[in-house]
Amino acid sequence: MALFPLTSNFEGDFVLQLVAVDTDNTMDEVAAAAAVHSVGRRVRARPGHILRVRQQGATEFLPRDLKVADAGLKPTETIEIIWQAA
């Protein structure tokens, strides 16, 4: 368990946020941590949607239960947080 910085590019937000997550966090937990900085501030919540994580520029989402330590991400790497219909 260690703090791990990631840059969040949250869908619908114009601000990139540096988010400290834990290496044991899942991608769902990473998305929730990023949402704290955007949803309800500059981005409206979307009921009936879930948040998904992908590496910036990728087309495939990372598995929701994948842990940060196993994702191959680098410190301060930019991830995209995208709304997906549930």
Are the C-beta atoms of 54 and 83 separated by less than 8 Å?
no
Domain housing 54: 3-85
Element (H, E) at 63: none
pLDDT in tens, 50-75: 999 999 999 999 999 999 999 999 99
What per-residue confidence (pLDDT) applies to 33? Answer: 97
Helices and strands: H and E segment counts in the chain: 1, 4
CATH number of the domain enclosing 75: 3.10.20.270
What per-residue confidence (pLDDT) applies to 86? Answer: 87
pLDDT in tens, 26-56: 999 999 999 999 999 999 999 999 999 999 9
| Total count of domains within the chain | 1
Percentage of the chain beyond pLDDT 70 is 100
What per-residue confidence (pLDDT) applies to 17? Answer: 96
